[in-house]
Structure 1
Amino acid sequence: MSELFNEVDEDLRREQLKKIWEKYSLLIIAVAILIVVGVGGWRGYSYLEAKKAAVAGAAFDRAVELAEQNKHAEAEAAFTKLAAEAPSGYRTLARLRAAAEAASRDPQAAVKLYDDIIADRTVPAPEQDLARIRAGSLLLETTPYEAMQTRLEPATTNTSTYRHSARELLALSAWKANNAVATRQWLDMMSNDAETPASLRTRAEALQALLPPAAKS
């Protein structure tokens, strides 16, 4: 008797499946096709992106080689091309390197390139701060302390990756401007930050020794 019931149940299930297939077969096939196409498309996209990244990486290495050979004009052109055409991971690096190469021929042109990076809100904060530091280094000898402060102070916060270099540049700028109070402020920030690198701490102590007695800690 149980075998009879089993056979009846199986017939009912087959009949239900048949009805479901007749009603939804086109939808099921369409969903299956979409899944296959989606997986294939994603794999194709991943392959193309990996290929683009490999090509960009090789081009970046060639541009670095040009820079190391002091072929600055060729290196700048190569980095500029990468900044325009490479995948996003290489664009900001290429822009920073293009600006560095431009500095060898025209520091003001390099500063303009760094400023473009700083103003670009799609660029991550650490790279923006690095651009501030590099531009500040080029401007240290010719720019008033107040302008340097405006330029570099955003990079001096406790969470900034390049805060140590920014503080050192501002201390030097203030010292050149005979602003002992501001010099001491930045040197104290360097001294009180446990993560200040030893080399920068040593230079800060040397600059501190040059301050007039009233301005020393």
Structure 2
Amino acid sequence: MSELFDEVDEEVRREQLKKLWERYSIFIIAGAILIIAAVGGWRGYQYLEARKAAEAGAAFEAAADLSEQNKHEEAEAAFTKLAASAPYGYRVLSRLRAAAEVAFRDPQAAARMYDEIAADRSVGAAEQDLAKIRAAGLLLDTTSYSNMLQRLESATTPGATYRHTARELLALSAWRANDAAAARQWLDTIANDGETPPSLRSRAEALQALLPPVAKS
């Protein structure tokens, strides 16, 4: 008797499943097609992005080779093209390299390019700080200490990626402006940072020796 009931239950389940399939099969099939299409589209997108990145990487290396061959105008053109069309990471790097190539013929124009990168909020903080450093390095001999301070002070804070170079540039700028107090302040900051690179620490000590002694009270 129990077997008969089991067979009846099984038949009822089949009828229910059949009715559900007849009612919802179009939606089930459509959903399956959408899932397959989505997975295929994502795979296709990943493939295209990887291909673009590979092409941009090769083009970036070719532009860098032009620079090493002192073909700076050609390198500038290549990096400028990449800055306009490459995937995001290569766009930022290419903007920085294009400015570096411009610096060979027009340091002031290159500094303005770096300033644009430093002011671009879509660029990462480390790249913004690097652009600030590069611009300040180009302007060190021609701009005032107050301008250098305005440019670089935010990049000197503990933990900032390029704080060591920023501090050195400010110490040099203050020294050139005959502002011994400011120069000493930055040199002390360099000396007190345990992570200061040894080569920079040596340069700071050499500059410290050029400063007049502190007046005794």
Q: TM class, shorter-chain normalised?
A: over 0.9
**Cα displacement (A) at 1:15:** 1.5
**Cα displacement (A) at 1:215:** 6.7
In the alignment, residue 183 of structure 1 is paired with which amino acid?
A: A
CA distance in 2, matches of 1:12, 1:89: 61
In the alignment, residue 73 of structure 2 is paired with which amino acid?
A: A
**Cα displacement (A) at 1:5:** 2.5
Structure 2 match to 1:48: 48
CA distance in 2, matches of 1:181, 1:34: 69
In the alignment, residue 56 of structure 1 is paired with which amino acid?
A: A
In the alignment, residue 111 of structure 1 is paired with which amino acid?
A: A
- Helix, strand or coil: the match of 2:121? coil
Deviations 1:61-96, CA, capped at 9 Å, x for gaps? 000000000000000000000000001110000000
Structure 1 match to 2:162: 162
Contact persistence 1:184–1:215 (CA under 8 A) = no
CA distance in 2, matches of 1:147, 1:122: 24
Identity %: 73
Cα RMSD, aligned residues only: 1.2
Aligned residue runs from structure 1 range 62-77, under 5 A = 62-77=62-77
Q: 1:215 to 1:163 in 2, by over 3 A?
A: farther
TM-score by length of 2: 0.97
- Which deviates more, 3-12 or 171-180? 3-12
Structure 1 match to 2:12: 12
CA distance in 2, matches of 1:176, 1:37: 65
Contact persistence 1:181–1:215 (CA under 8 A) = no
Deviations 1:17-47, CA, capped at 9 Å, x for gaps? 1121122111111111110000000000000
Structure 1 match to 2:2: 2
- Helix, strand or coil: the match of 1:213? coil
Moved over 3 A (4+): none
CA distance in 1, matches of 2:164, 2:194: 11
Structure 1 match to 2:194: 194
**Cα displacement (A) at 1:16:** 1.6
Structure 2 residue runs of 5 or longer lacking an equivalent are none
In the alignment, residue 160 of structure 1 is paired with which amino acid?
A: A
Deviations 1:175-208, CA, capped at 9 Å, x for gaps? 1111111111111111111111111111111111
CA distance in 2, matches of 1:202, 1:94: 33
Structure 1 match to 2:95: 95
Structure 1 match to 2:177: 177
In the alignment, residue 81 of structure 2 is paired with which amino acid?
A: K
